[in-house]
Structure 1
Amino acid sequence: ARSGRVAEAITAYEQLFADRTRVLGPDAPDTLFTRNNLAGLLGRSGRVVEAIAAFEQLLADLRRVLGPDAPHALTARSNLAGLLGESGRVAEAIAAYEQLLADQIRILGPDAPQTQTTRDSLASWFATSGRVVEAIAGYEQLLADRTRVLGPDSSDTLATRNTLASLLAGAGRLAEAITAFEQLLADQRRVLDPDAPQTLATRDSLAFWLGESGRVAEAITAYEQLLAVQSRMLGPDDPGTLATRRNVAALLGRSGRVAEAITAYEQLLADQCRVLGADAPDSLATRDSIAELLCRSGRVAEAVAAYEHLLADQCRVLGPDATDTLETRQTLARSLGESGRLAEAITAFEQLWADQVRVLGEDAPDTLATRSNLARWLGRSGRVAEAIGALEQLWADQVRVLGADAPDTLTTRNNLAGWLGRSGRVAEAITAFEQLLADRTRLLGPDHPDTLATRSNLAWALGESGRVAEAITAFEQLLADQRRVLGSDDPQTLFTRSNLAGSLGRSGRVAEAITAFEQLLADQRRVLCPDDPQTLFTRSNLAGLLAESGRLAEAVTAFEELLADRTRLLGPEAPQTVTTRNNLDWLEQRRSDREES
Structure 2
Amino acid sequence: MRDSAHLTTQADVTAGSAGEALPLRIGPYEILGLLGEGAMGRVYRAREAQPPREVALKVLQALGSSALSRFRREVEMLAQLEHPGIARLYAASDASSEAGGPPWLALEYVRGHDLLRHARERHLDLDARLRLLIDVCRAVHFAHGRGVIHRDLKPGNILVDDDGQPKVLDFGIARLADGWSRDVTQLGQVLGTVPYMSPEQLSGHSAQVDARSDVYALGCIAYELIGGRLPHPQLSTSTLFEAIDIVRHQAPEPLGRLAAAARGDLETVVMKALAGEPAQRYSSAAEFAADLERVRAHRPVEARPPTLGYLLARFVRRHRLASAAAAFSLLALVAASVVSLRLAWSEAAARREAEARAAEAGAVNGFLERMLVSADPERSQNDLTVRSVLDAAQAELGQAGLPPLAAARVSLTLATSLLRLGETARAEQLFGQSLQSLDPAAPLALRDALQVGQARALYTQQKYAAADALLLPLLQRTDPPLEKSIAIDARLAQAEGLLAQGKSAVAEELLRPLLKDAQTQLGESHALSLAISQNLGSTLRLAGRYDEAIALAQATLAAHLAKGGAEHPQTLKTRSLLGALYELKNDDAAAEAEFRGVLEVRTRVLGAAHPETTNAMQALASFQVRRGELDAGIALIHDVLEARRLRGEDSTPNNLLARNVLAYALEDQGRLAEAEAELRRVVAAQSRDGGPANAEAIGPRNNLAMLLLKQKRPADALVEFDALDKWMQANLPAGHPYFAIFASNRGECLAQLGRWQEARAVLEGAHAALAQKFGPAHERTRTAASRLAAVYRQLGEHARAAALDPVKAS
TM range (shorter): 0.5 to 0.7
Structure 2 portions without partners, runs of 5+: 1-244, 282-305, 314-325, 327-372, 380-386, 802-808
Question: Which residue of 671, 675, 680 maps to 1:471?
Answer: 675
Q: Which structure carries more relative contact order (alpha carbon 8 Å, separation 6+)?
A: 1
- Change in Cα spacing, 1:186 to 1:366, as seen in structure 2 (3 Å) is closer
What is aligned with 1:99? none
Separation in structure 2 between the aligned mates of residue 315 and residue 459 of structure 1, nearest angstrom? 44
CA offsets, 1:70-106, max 9 Å, x none?
xxxxxxxxxxxxxxxxxxxxxxxxxxxxxxxxxxxxx
* Counterparts of residues 316-395 of structure 1 (less than 5 Å): 316-395=520-599
CA contact (8 A) 2:663 2:675 kept: yes
Deviation at 1:192, TM superposition (A): 5.0
Deviation at 1:236, TM superposition (A): 9.7
Separation in structure 2 between the aligned mates of residue 184 and residue 326 of structure 1, nearest angstrom? 29
In the alignment, structure 1 residue 459 sits paired with structure 2 residue 669: no
Question: Which residue of 503, 507, 510 maps to 1:303?
Answer: 507
Separation in structure 1 between the aligned mates of residue 559 and residue 652 of structure 2, nearest angstrom? 34
Deviation at 1:338, TM superposition (A): 0.6
Farther-moved stretch of structure 1 (409-418 vs 528-537): 528-537
Separation in structure 1 between the aligned mates of residue 309 and residue 392 of structure 2, nearest angstrom? 16
Amino acid in the other structure paired with 1:576: R
What is aligned with 1:197? 407
Deviation at 1:586, TM superposition (A): 4.8
CA contact (8 A) 1:223 1:244 kept: no
Normalized against structure 2, the TM-score is what?
0.47
Amino acid in the other structure paired with 1:364: H
What value does the CA root-mean-square deviation take over the aligned residues?
Answer: 5.2
In the alignment, structure 1 residue 247 sits paired with structure 2 residue 454: yes
Separation in structure 2 between the aligned mates of residue 147 and residue 316 of structure 1, nearest angstrom? 55
Normalized against structure 1, the TM-score is what?
0.62
In the alignment, structure 1 residue 266 sits paired with structure 2 residue 472: yes
Farther-moved stretch of structure 1 (285-294 vs 224-233): 224-233
Separation in structure 2 between the aligned mates of residue 233 and residue 151 of structure 1, nearest angstrom? 38
- Change in Cα spacing, 1:155 to 1:244, as seen in structure 2 (3 Å) is farther
* Counterparts of residues 416-427 of structure 1 (less than 5 Å): 416-427=620-631
* Counterparts of residues 220-299 of structure 1 (less than 5 Å): 226=433, 229-230=436-437, 237=444, 239=446, 242-244=449-451, 246-248=453-455, 250-251=457-458, 254-255=461-462, 258=464, 261-262=467-468, 264-271=470-477, 274=479, 277-280=482-485, 282-299=486-503
Q: Aligned to 2:548, what secondary structure does the other structure show?
A: helix
Separation in structure 1 between the aligned mates of residue 476 and residue 448 of structure 2, nearest angstrom? 14
Separation in structure 1 between the aligned mates of residue 267 and residue 684 of structure 2, nearest angstrom? 33
CA offsets, 1:268-301, max 9 Å, x none?
3335x65562512x32222112112222323222
* Counterparts of residues 439-588 of structure 1 (less than 5 Å): 439-443=643-647, 445-484=649-688, 486-491=689-694, 494-588=698-792
Deviation at 1:433, TM superposition (A): 0.9
Q: Aligned to 2:557, what secondary structure does the other structure show?
A: helix
- Change in Cα spacing, 1:302 to 1:457, as seen in structure 2 (3 Å) is same
Deviation at 1:315, TM superposition (A): 0.6
Separation in structure 2 between the aligned mates of residue 386 and residue 132 of structure 1, nearest angstrom? 38
CA contact (8 A) 2:455 2:468 kept: no
Amino acid in the other structure paired with 1:277: L
CA contact (8 A) 1:376 1:387 kept: yes
Q: Aligned to 1:529, what secondary structure does the other structure show?
A: coil
Separation in structure 2 between the aligned mates of residue 386 and residue 192 of structure 1, nearest angstrom? 55
What is aligned with 2:602? 398
Deviation at 1:581, TM superposition (A): 3.7
Amino acid in the other structure paired with 2:484: D
- Change in Cα spacing, 1:213 to 1:305, as seen in structure 2 (3 Å) is closer
CA contact (8 A) 2:744 2:767 kept: no
CA offsets, 1:98-121, max 9 Å, x none?
xxxxxxxxxxx9999xx99xx9xx
Larger strand percent = 2
Separation in structure 2 between the aligned mates of residue 579 and residue 244 of structure 1, nearest angstrom? 44
- Change in Cα spacing, 1:414 to 1:350, as seen in structure 2 (3 Å) is same
Separation in structure 1 between the aligned mates of residue 450 and residue 787 of structure 2, nearest angstrom? 45
Question: Which residue of 636, 640, 644 maps to 1:432?
Answer: 636
Separation in structure 1 between the aligned mates of residue 475 and residue 280 of structure 2, nearest angstrom? 43
Structure showing greater radius of gyration is: 2
Deviation at 1:212, TM superposition (A): 7.4
- Change in Cα spacing, 1:187 to 1:352, as seen in structure 2 (3 Å) is closer
Q: Aligned to 1:308, what secondary structure does the other structure show?
A: helix
Separation in structure 2 between the aligned mates of residue 583 and residue 344 of structure 1, nearest angstrom? 31
Separation in structure 2 between the aligned mates of residue 358 and residue 593 of structure 1, nearest angstrom? 60
Larger helix percent = 1
Amino acid in the other structure paired with 1:517: F
Deviation at 1:483, TM superposition (A): 3.8
Separation in structure 1 between the aligned mates of residue 707 and residue 769 of structure 2, nearest angstrom? 26
CA offsets, 1:157-192, max 9 Å, x none?
5999xx9xx999978xxxxxx9xx999999976785
CA offsets, 1:450-477, max 9 Å, x none?
3333233223322332222222222223
CA offsets, 1:387-436, max 9 Å, x none?
23442344234333443234333222111111211122223222221111
Separation in structure 2 between the aligned mates of residue 169 and residue 394 of structure 1, nearest angstrom? 18
- Change in Cα spacing, 1:410 to 1:554, as seen in structure 2 (3 Å) is same
Separation in structure 2 between the aligned mates of residue 400 and residue 355 of structure 1, nearest angstrom? 23
CA contact (8 A) 1:444 1:451 kept: no
Deviation at 1:199, TM superposition (A): 13
* Counterparts of residues 47-66 of structure 1 (less than 5 Å): none
